[in-house]
Amino acid sequence: MILFNELVLASHNAGKLKELQAMLGSSIRVRSVGEFSSIEPEETGLSFIENAILKARNAARVSGLPALADDSGLAVDFLGGAPGIYSARYADGQGDAANNAKLLDVLQAVPDAERGAQFVCCLALVRHADDPLPIICEGLWHGRILHTAQGVEGFGYDPLFWVPERDCSSAELPAAEKNQISHRARAMVLLKHRLGLV
């Protein structure tokens, strides 16, 4: 079991921060890396794991605290797993609306049966910036890409992600419900077990 009572979340994404904070609850005092630095590290890794570790080390370095990073994205079967680790940069850094518009466009003629996709979340926790043994936990969430956006909750690709087990898009799920079944929720359950928090 690892003992600490304060943690920095290594994300600049408001939607993610909200979800991670809600999932961690009050068990640990949570700060955000934005309190320490507004510079976002370049995500130069070739995998979710590498990018999560890179972000966690950066946040630990600027804060002096243990750090938890989340690298996540959407892997679309028809696109061979793209946009994957490039999900946030899919429309060249123009943001969520442009990313979603581009995805709908490239999948325009693709039938439902071939629109399978997974949200992927990789959490990386480092005790300090040079931690030689980061804790890594992953979660997947299977769904399908809709033909048009639906719902206003959540962030990112949520309005395009159909959740078969709930018969709605992930942007139509109340936050509390998404936080129990999402890729991020699954990774967080594993992390809490590793930390002895549950």
Residue 84 makes contact with ligand Y43 by CB under 6 A: no
**Using CA atoms, how far apart are residues 2 and 90, in angstroms rounded to an integer?**
37
Stretch near ligand Y43 under the rule CB under 6 A, chosen from 24-32, 70-78, 124-132, 189-197: 70-78
Positive or negative, the CA dihedral 77, 82, 83, 86 is: positive
Minimal distance, residue 78 CB to ligand Y43, in Å: 17
Residue 153 vs 196, nearer CB to ligand Y43: 153
Residue 155 makes contact with ligand Y43 by CB under 6 A: yes
Residue 87 makes contact with ligand Y43 by CB under 6 A: yes
40 is in an annotated binding site: no
Positive or negative, the CA dihedral 18, 178, 87, 108 is: negative
Residue 63 vs 182, nearer CB to ligand Y43: 182
**Using CA atoms, how far apart are residues 86 and 26, in angstroms rounded to an integer?**
32
Q: Which of the residues are catalytic? A: 71
Q: What are phi and psi of 105, to 5 degrees?
A: -65, -50
178 is in an annotated binding site: yes
Residue 88 makes contact with ligand Y43 by CB under 6 A: yes
Q: What are phi and psi of 34, to 5 degrees?
A: -60, -25
Q: Which residue type is seen at 93?
A: G
Minimal distance, residue 62 CB to Mg ion, in Å: 16
Positive or negative, the CA dihedral 120, 124, 129, 134 is: negative
Residue 11 makes contact with ligand Y43 by CB under 6 A: yes
**Using CA atoms, how far apart are residues 120 and 126, in angstroms rounded to an integer?**
20
183 is in an annotated binding site: yes
Residue 72 makes contact with ligand Y43 by CB under 6 A: yes
**Using CA atoms, how far apart are residues 132 and 31, in angstroms rounded to an integer?**
23
Binding site for ligand Y43 (CB under 6 A): 11-13, 16, 40, 43, 55, 70-74, 87-88, 99, 119, 154-158, 182, 184
Binding site for Mg ion (CB under 5 A): 88
**Residue ranges of the binding site for substrate:** 11-16, 72, 155-158, 178, 183-184
